[in-house]
Chain A
Amino acid sequence: MSRTFLGTPAFPEAARSALANTQLRRNLAHATSTIRAKRAAVVGEVAEWERLRRAGAALKDRTLRHLDTYLQQLEESLTRAGATVHWARDAAEANRIVVDVARRHGTDEVVKVKSMVTAEIGLNDALAAAGITAWETDLAELIVQLGDDLPSHILVPAIHRNRSEVREIFLREMGRYGRPAPADLSDVPAELAAAARAHLREKFLRSRVAVSGANFAVAETGTLAVVESEGNGRMCLTLPEVLISVVGIEKLVPTWADLEVFLQLLPRSSTGERMNPYTSLWTGVTPGDGPQEVHVVLLDNGRTQVLADEVGRQALRCIRCSACLNVCPVYERTGGHSYGSVYPGPIGAILTPMLRGVGADAQVDSLPYASSLCGACFEVCPVRIDIPEVLVHLRAEVVDSHRGHPSAQNAAMAAAAWTLGDARRTSVAERVACAVGKLLRRTRRRAPGGRATLGALPGPAARWADARDVPIPAPESFRAWWARTDGGRTEQQ
């Protein structure tokens, strides 16, 4: 159970094989259209939704622009409430902290609440290397873990699996790790959920250490929040003796009152509900109730790099609702695995390159291009992240990082710059193009709408023309027409 995204090919190649998987496309189309309709209905109920979104964005901007102050305040309030605060520069440091705490308690297993950040840092593998098994307790994470699979969605990591696939995984795998699934298990979702309940209950009741993330951390009070549906979160946050929460430094909100904005924005954007079934809020240690040893690991792991990017900084507002995935025409067709990252979809296409840096890895550099820039993601984002703006900004960074390296595209761009940079050269190029256009026009086909197009192009341009209609150059350039007709004044009507 240790698959990683390492080795995923660049987006276009990964997308091509995903597109060929008709089962995957059916599963995704069904799931994303269901959730889109639910979200639209409950968002439509809120008269001041736009004002709420703007409040969410402003609160996150306030936090991010004064993050050092708020982090120190959070550390103070957590410590006052009896929690132990750790700081981790990167994934390795965070993993080491969690492993050390677990080891100190002599445990060989931990139960886990679904958390994006622990997936980001590869915590399960680090625990396994230390001889500690991490049990994923969210239903979808359990499906992914038992199926030796990779998550493909932020909210519903097993969105690429349908009910009969889930049934097969449960029947085949549950018995290897604990209570087996009933032999007569059907593929009715309620029965599958009941099998997960029975399988995990013994683990909840016996585990002494739990690991969670947090949806929000309140600087003023030291309160952490976990928003969930199944009750697996409550189990992990309540029953064990020791709780370790790994929290990205962008998860802060300044005050308790600020939660009112996010607890309205998140459930409606995420699962399309007025409120998710369970929200747990806890502030350090409560004597006689819940874990009596509470650790909070504050994680950077590239976030300060995102913060330094004045255009990209807004990505740190993200509250991981996944609304942008559900409306994205690219995500809907290619699924989450094509993005080769824990964070898929539009938000992943900007967050992953910024967390990891552009210019070093062809797969990462392909992500800002995994979009048609249609803007649907910006429209649904509950904290108004202008994802298309950041995508374009990152495309420029990718291009800049490859400057000076010879490539067909760079050669073409350099040639174009040389030609277009001088009026005389441009007019020569136009005359040549028009002459070629006249020749081709006699032989070539017409695209729908009557526009004459070239079919295939030769050489390195072939791939570009693969998915695009290349228009045949006009018989006369605009400049030639202007000169001939004195700007249209002498043209025959």
Chain B
Amino acid sequence: MSARDEILGRIRAALRDVPATETPADIAVDRPAPAAASPADVDTFVERVADYRARVVRCTPDELAAHIAAECTGRVLVPADLPTELWPAGAVPDHALPVTELDDVDAVLTTAALGIAETGTIVLDHDPGQGRRAATLVPDRHVCIVRADQVVPDVPSAIAKLDPTRPQTWISGPSATSDIELDRVEGVHGPRNLVVLLLG
């Protein structure tokens, strides 16, 4: 018998007490509903991202270029499909660069899929403008543009908006560890600096 059939057989034998007529829907799940969007969400988002010791800069569309220039110095990786008007002076477009070259840039600039206010989380689903997963991982500084209208109140609202067939990276502050005496230290393998440019 294949391992698959044997394991499925063991499971059915183990569940003999479950009535044959029971369906998954018979087990009621009562969960809190997603929070309603509120104008305060953006403030909460800003405060909670900053709580993780990430830098948050709020700006208007007119100020964006200046802030990109200020935050993105040196050689800056950009997804090749990031709108060119956002590219900083030292932009290095990512045309499937080998990972060792990703390790050589000073920063990476991307957009995001959405932001979660309650947890101060940025979600990338690696659509155009957000780069492939390695691009926002290997460089030591990640500058991420989030529009205010992309901020949702909580985790359930985010899950409802996201497409599970896309790979996703949920980012809450810079890379961190609490592995030594449970003392939180920012900066291990992922970007040690996270800058969020909040637009609008």
Contact = CB atoms under 8 A, between A and B. Distances in A.
Contacts of A166: 180
B175 A239 contact: no
Interface in B135-183: 137-138, 155-156, 158-160, 164-183
Contacts of B179: 138-140, 143, 156, 158, 230
Interface string A211-253: 0000000101101000001111011011100000000010000
A279 B172 CA distance: 9
Nearest to A38: B182
Interface string B16-60: 011000111001111110100000000000001001100000000
A134 to B, nearest CB: 17
Contact of B96 (A58, A263, A288): A288
A65 B18 contact: yes
Contacts of B14: 304-305, 307-308
Contacts of A172: none
B32 to A, nearest CB: 4
Given A249-B11, A277-B172, 14 more contacts: A62-B24, A66-B24, A139-B179, A161-B180, A205-B99, A232-B188, A234-B190, A235-B137, A260-B34, A277-B176, A278-B171, A278-B172, A289-B134, A308-B13
A234 B178 CA distance: 17
Contacts of A277: 52, 171-176, 190
A260 B15 contact: no
B96 A275 contact: no
Interface string A407-443: 0000000000000000000000000000000000000
Contacts of B100: 205
Contact of A286 (B167, B174, B186): B167
A221 B174 contact: no
Interface of A: 27, 30-31, 34-35, 48, 51-52, 54-55, 58-59, 61-62, 65-69, 71-72, 75, 81, 86-89, 93, 137-140, 143, 156, 158-159, 161-163, 166, 189-190, 192-194, 196-197, 200-201, 204-205, 218, 220-221, 223, 229-232, 234-235, 237-239, 249, 254, 256-257, 259-261, 263-264, 271, 273-283, 286, 288-290, 298, 300, 304-305, 307-308, 310
Contact of A278 (B2, B175, B187): B175
Given A281-B164, A288-B96, A65 B182 contact: no
B89 to A, nearest CB: 27
B170 A281 contact: yes
Contacts of A58: 27-30
A260 B159 contact: yes
Contacts of B27: 58, 61-62, 65
A229 B177 contact: yes
B78 to A, nearest CB: 16
13 contacts: A55-B29, A75-B4, A166-B180, A205-B103, A230-B179, A234-B133, A239-B138, A249-B7, A263-B170, A277-B173, A286-B166, A286-B167, A304-B14
Nearest to A159: B182
Contacts of A140: 179
B189 A289 contact: no
Given A51-B32, A87-B2, A257 B165 contact: no
Nearest to A231: B190
Nearest to B31: A55
Nearest to B190: A231
Nearest to B4: A87
A137 B190 CA distance: 12
Nearest to B23: A66
A26 B182 CA distance: 13
Given A34-B182, A71-B11, A276-B172, A201 B120 contact: no
A52 B32 contact: yes
A348 B112 CA distance: 40
Contacts of B65: none
Contact of A290 (B12, B18, B30, B133): B133
Nearest to B170: A279
Nearest to A139: B179
A306 to B, nearest CB: 8
B54 to A, nearest CB: 10
Contacts of B3: 86-89, 93
Contact of B7 (A66, A87, A221, A231): A87
Contact of A273 (B11, B34, B137, B172): B172
A220 B163 CA distance: 13
A192 B172 contact: no
B170 A30 contact: no
A220 to B, nearest CB: 8
Contacts of B119: 274-275
Nearest to A298: B7
Nearest to B173: A277
Contacts of A189: 177, 180-181, 183, 185
Contacts of B165: 81, 221, 283
A66 B12 CA distance: 9
B171 A290 contact: no
Contact of B167 (A196, A218, A289): A289
Q: Which are the 9 A-B pairs with shortest beta-carbon distances? A: A231-B190, A308-B14, A231-B189, A230-B188, A304-B10, A275-B119, A279-B170, A55-B31, A140-B179
A230 B169 contact: no
Contact of B126 (A62, A192, A289, A300): A289
A204 B190 CA distance: 12
Contacts of A138: 179
